[in-house]
């Protein structure tokens, strides 16, 4: 099973939109796909328990059906940084619980969405990278296209590589519909980042249906 971890240059940068878009694209290519959100804050109380909108979106974009508890094993209600949400809930994160989500998943592709940016702490002991290594060494970076994005992208990629992970591609998500020199900034990142741009997601009006992005994935083979 191929597994990619989706991270971003910041929080609210478009990781969920990119992950869901990628899941739909892979499904259209005939692949069996599943999405996971191992850790989420900002969850809502429902009769079934805490539910996270990002995790529900990933489930809707997947064609391999999984129970919610496998998609999102750690769900916290406060919309705060994960280490603060876990502390408030009195929960000590266990990576074995996260790795347990991998059991019995029959899919060609597993897309795992992170929380916040790359270096976010998960508790007093763990950083996001400790969670990522449970699933894969291959990372996709979502870059929110707005002023300052080049600096954020380069610093994030530098840390990803320093931590021993492989950047397999990056996604340009146009956050600012009026961004000056959008194509010029994307071209600069194409030149400076050590992996290809595999997805380009246009800006959209939040009141209108999202437009699917353009994907240029490298040749995909099952492993």
Q: What is the dihedral of CA 143, 145, 148, 149, to 10 degrees?
A: 20
Closest CA to 112 of 166, 37, 44: 37
37 is catalytic: yes
Neighbours of 160 (CB within 10 A): 22
Region of residue 106 (phi > 0: left; psi between -120 and 50: alpha; otherwise: beta): beta
Q: Tell me how far apart the alpha carbons of residues 68 and 52 are, in angstroms, rounded to a whole number.
A: 10
Q: Beta 197-201 vs 166-174: how paired, if at all?
A: parallel
Q: Tell me how far apart the alpha carbons of residues 161 and 93 are, in angstroms, rounded to a whole number.
A: 25
Q: Tokens 């950047």 correspond to what residue? A: 167
Catalytic residue among 37, 70, 103, 208: 37
Count CA within 13 A, CB hemisphere, residue 25.
19
30 phi, psi to nearest 5 deg:
95, 10
| Catalytic site positions | 37
């Amino acid at each position: 099973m191929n597994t990619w971890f989706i991270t971003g240059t910041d929080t609210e940068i478009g990781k969920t939109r990119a992950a869901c878009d990628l899941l739909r694209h892979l499904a259209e290519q005939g692949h069996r796909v599943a999405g996971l959100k191992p850790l989420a804050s900002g969850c809502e109380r429902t009769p079934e328990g805490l539910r996270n909108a990002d995790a529900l979106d990933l489930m809707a974009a997947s064609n391999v059906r999984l129970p919610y508890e496998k998609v999102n094993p750690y769900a916290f209600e406060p919309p705060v940084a994960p280490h603060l949400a876990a502390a408030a809930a009195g929960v000590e994160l266990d990576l074995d619980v996260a790795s347990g989500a991998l059991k019995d998943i029959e899919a060609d592709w597993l897309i795992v969405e992170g929380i916040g940016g790359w270096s976010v702490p998960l508790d007093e002991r763990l950083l996001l990278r400790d969670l990522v290594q449970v699933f894969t060494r291959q990372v996709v970076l979502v870059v929110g296209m707005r002023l300052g994005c080049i600096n954020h992208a380069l610093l994030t990629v530098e840390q990803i590589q320093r931590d021993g992970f492989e950047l397999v591609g990056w996604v340009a998500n146009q956050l600012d519909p009026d961004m000056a020199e959008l194509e010029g900034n994307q071209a600069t990142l194409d030149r400076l980042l050590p992996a290809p741009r595999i997805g380009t997601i246009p800006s959209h009006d939040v009141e209108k249906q999202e437009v699917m992005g353009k994907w240029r994935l490298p040749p995909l083979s099952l492993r």
